[in-house]
């Protein structure tokens, strides 16, 4: 095995060893009957969640959403972002396909800065800063998310390759670097509203997201 492939295999083995499966249960939802899987990162103690619909093991081009935790959007229905609506859209698309995976990445709140810092950043955005400038003004990174646990979960389910539901090209690049075969990337774009139009524009023009509906 070439050295770079050997190093990659060792990295994947390390990821799978660090992320430990804990439990599974049936989860009926509005968009289909999922299997809910709980994992724990042995290194950080962070819990992670995977929602799996249908058969995915040894399947190619499995429709996959790698979703960053967003309490305000996913739970509170915030219109400052598009996260909650993206999550529902992903469920709808997976239901229509008949199988797929949603990886719900804990510890990704506010692109990795945490809920308290995110609320502080919201306060700065209320004064006119965009989401990037607000993080920097707080002395925080613009985006410190990692996708090692996502790759480890996909390895756990033994998928051959995925079709990634995302507007963020960095997710595809990160998963590819971690050894996940990304056959295609499909946009998961939500139309803007008055509360998140500037936020989506910042994601497109400053963070490089593929958002065709944003001018």
Q: Which residues are catalytic?
A: 143, 145
CA distance 19 to 15: 6
- The first and second tokens of residue 207, run together, are 């963070």
**Residue 40 has what DSSP assignment?**
E
212 contacts 201 by C-beta, under 8 angstroms: no
Strands of the sheet with 32-41, listed across from one edge: 19-29, 32-41, 47-53, 100-105, 62-68, 162-165, 182-186
CA distance 120 to 122: 5
186 contacts 210 by C-beta, under 8 angstroms: no
CA distance 11 to 71: 31
CA 144 from chain center: how many Å? 13
């Amino acid at each position: 095995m070439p050295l770079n492939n050997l190093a990659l295999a060792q990295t994947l083995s390390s990821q799978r060893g660090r992320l430990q499966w804990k439990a599974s249960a049936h989860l009926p939802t509005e968009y289909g009957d999922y299997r809910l899987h709980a994992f724990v990162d042995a290194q950080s103690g962070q819990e992670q969640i995977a929602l799996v619909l249908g058969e995915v093991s040894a399947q190619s081009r499995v429709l996959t959403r790698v979703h960053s935790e967003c309490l305000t959007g996913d739970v509170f229905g915030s219109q400052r972002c598009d996260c909650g609506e993206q999550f529902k859209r992903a469920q709808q698309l997976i239901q229509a396909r008949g199988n797929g995976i949603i990886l719900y990445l804990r510890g990704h709140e506010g692109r990795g800065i945490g809920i308290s810092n995110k609320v502080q950043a919201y306060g700065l955005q209320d004064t006119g800063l965009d989401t990037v400038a607000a993080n920097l003004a707080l002395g925080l990174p613009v985006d410190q998310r990692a996708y090692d646990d996502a790759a480890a979960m996909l390895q756990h389910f033994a998928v051959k390759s995925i079709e990634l539901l995302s507007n963020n090209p960095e997710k595809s690049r990160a998963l590819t670097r971690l050894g996940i075969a990304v056959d295609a990337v499909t946009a998961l774009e939500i139309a803007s509203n008055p509360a998140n139009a500037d936020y989506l524009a910042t994601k497109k023009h400053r963070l490089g997201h593929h958002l065709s509906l944003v001018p």
